[in-house]
Amino acid sequence: MDLQPTDLQELLRSNAEDVLAREAPADRVRQMEASGEPDAELWSTLVDLGWTGLAIDEEHGGQGGSLLDLAVIIEQLCRNAVLSPFVPTALAALVVQRHGDEALRADLLPRIAEGATVAIALAEGRGEMHDLATTGEDGAVSGEKRFVEYARSTDLHLVAASRNGASGLAIVPTSAEGVSIEQDLASIGKTPQAIVAYDGARADAWIEGEAAVEDLRRLGSALASLESYAHAQRALDMTVDYVQTRVQFGRPIGSFQAVQMRLADLATRVQASNFLVHELLWHFGEGSEDPEQIAVVKAVTAQTVAQVTQDCHLLHGGIGFITEYDLYFHTIRGKEASLRFGGAGEALRTVANALLD
């Protein structure tokens, strides 16, 4: 066991810190929130830096990085509260790489590396991810998907659907006839998302099999856990800094025991989440991921991010509640991430079933 980041990961992290400090300062993030659209200029910067191809094989135009390398970038995007289709696009690329046939990989992966964006269209109804009603008979996708993040702005939708009685994933261009946005959804984290109707929309390609759909759910959950952790870590770091500068009763509030005890508890949870999410991503790389553990990590990080962000607000007092200050970014984005691909309740059910059945 060696938990040290590699040299490459260190380099990625410091590059990402510099680039995002410059290209995605908080006022620009607020503009993204207000416009409800990702920042096209920022996206082309990320593409130029090679981040969109980071975890794509070299033979398909990427850099052949690991999931843990990708995690470095995702964590930095979260630390800067950036709204971008980076995670859904990376998730789609991973699923295509792991399950697509060679023709699809050779077509799609280089396009993604060069900046094509993908939305994930999985959940239906009130968040159902398993018994899906969407069909794709004869390559024409029909059904309604919800919580489709960046549905409007992405180039492609990866749509979970069944055809000939078997589940799979359809790749549908957003511009295809029969794809329509039924309703934009306002979500706690301000990530743009929508209800999308597919009415006989023609798929460009298919990934066959339930295994691919299940991998989408699992990897999606793991990346959402990573985001939850990253927001909790950032909120904690901001608060540790803040309590050292905020003075009440003639002392930094960080010198009060009540503040110290609370922060110590939060730091303990965040420390554990850090290990658990990275361990989990490592298992994905090794092909040894386990559904129970995916659910454990989802529930732990969900609990962590909610408690940490709320307690960081308590420790900040009024200032943290004001949107001119940056703490709330992590509260709302972190909570949103923890609900993506199912909430902690569902994760607990999975854990209980794995233990007892």
Partner 1 sequence: MRVPIGHRERAVRMHYGWTDEQLQFRDDLRAFIAEHRTEELLAELDEYHDTHEYGPAMRRFRTGLDEAGFSTMAWPTEYGGQNKGAFYLFILKEELEYWGMPYDALSVLSVGTTIMRFGSESQKREWLPKIQTGEMNFAIGYTEPNAGTDLASLQTRAVRDGDEWVINGQKIYTSAAHNASHLFMAARTDPEAPKHRGISVFVFPLDTPGITVRPLWTMGGGRTNETFYEDVRIPADSIVGEENRGWYTIMNALDLERVTIGPYAPIKRVLDLMVEHVREERPELRDDPIVRTKLAETKLDYEIARALATTNAAIIDGGHTPTMEASMTKVWSTDMKERVSNLAMDLLGWEGALHVSNGEIAPARGDFEGRWRLSPSTRFGGGTNDVQRQIIATRGLSLPRG
Ligand X SMILES: Cc1cc2nc3c(=O)[nH]c(=O)nc-3n(C[C@H](O)[C@H](O)[C@H](O)COP(=O)(O)OP(=O)(O)OC[C@H]3O[C@@H](n4cnc5c(N)ncnc54)[C@H](O)[C@@H]3O)c2cc1C
Provide the minimum distance between the beta carbon of 198 and ligand X in the complex, in angstroms, as a whole number: 43
Contact between 256 and ligand X by CB under 6 A: the answer reads yes
Q: Which two tokens stand for residue 292?
A: 């129970």
Q: Vertex 50, ends 151 and 47: CA angle to 5°?
A: 40
DSSP per residue over 108-173, as a string?
HHHHHHTT--EEEE--BTTTB-SS---B-GGGEEEEEEEEEETTTT-SEEEEEEEETTEEEEEEEE
Provide the minimum distance between the beta carbon of 224 and partner 1 in the complex, in angstroms, as a whole number: 10
Contact between 250 and ligand X by CB under 6 A: the answer reads no
The residue range among 70-78, 230-238, 256-264, 276-284 that interacts with partner 1, by the rule CB under 8 A, is 256-264
Q: In this complex, which beta carbon is closest to ligand X, that of residue 217 or of residue 313?
A: 313
Q: Vertex 218, ends 214 and 265: CA angle to 5°?
A: 160
Q: List beta partners, residue 121.
A: 159
Contact between 261 and ligand X by CB under 6 A: the answer reads no
Q: Total binding residues for partner 1 by CB under 8 A?
A: 50
* Position with the least CB separation from ligand X: 317
The residue range among 40-48, 73-81, 200-208, 321-329 that interacts with partner 1, by the rule CB under 8 A, is 321-329
> Rounded to whole angstroms, what are the CA distances from 153 to 27, 149, 206, 223?
21, 9, 22, 21
348 binds, among ligand X, partner 1, none (CB under 5 to 8 A by kind): partner 1
146 binds, among ligand X, partner 1, none (CB under 5 to 8 A by kind): partner 1
The residue range among 15-23, 178-186, 192-200, 309-317 that interacts with ligand X, by the rule CB under 6 A, is 309-317
Q: In this complex, which beta carbon is closest to partner 1, that of residue 8 or of residue 185?
A: 185
Instruction: Determine the longest span between alpha carbons in the chain, in angstroms.
Output: 73
> Rounded to whole angstroms, what are the CA distances from 307 to 120, 232, 266, 311?
28, 9, 8, 6
Spell out the residues 6+ positions from residue 146 whose beta carbon is closer than 8 angstroms to its own.
123, 124, 125, 126, 127, 185, 195, 196
What is the Cα Rg of the chain in Å? 20
Provide the minimum distance between the beta carbon of 121 and ligand X in the complex, in angstroms, as a whole number: 38
The CB density around residue 264, as the number of other CB atoms within 10 Å, is 9
Q: Total binding residues for ligand X by CB under 6 A?
A: 12
Q: In this complex, which beta carbon is closest to ligand X, that of residue 147 or of residue 328?
A: 328
Contact between 249 and ligand X by CB under 6 A: the answer reads yes
Tokens 């699923």 belong to 95
Contact between 321 and ligand X by CB under 6 A: the answer reads yes
Q: In this complex, which beta carbon is closest to partner 1, that of residue 175 or of residue 248?
A: 248
> Rounded to whole angstroms, what are the CA distances from 329 to 13, 131, 188, 322, 353?
20, 33, 10, 11, 34
Among residues 262, 267, 279, 282, the one that binds partner 1 under rule CB under 8 A:
262
Residues that bind partner 1 (CB under 8 A): 123, 126-127, 146-147, 183, 185-189, 195, 247-249, 256-259, 262, 302, 306, 310, 313-314, 316-318, 320-324, 328, 331-332, 335-336, 338-346, 348-349, 352
Residues that bind ligand X (CB under 6 A): 246, 248-249, 253, 256, 258-259, 314-315, 317-318, 321
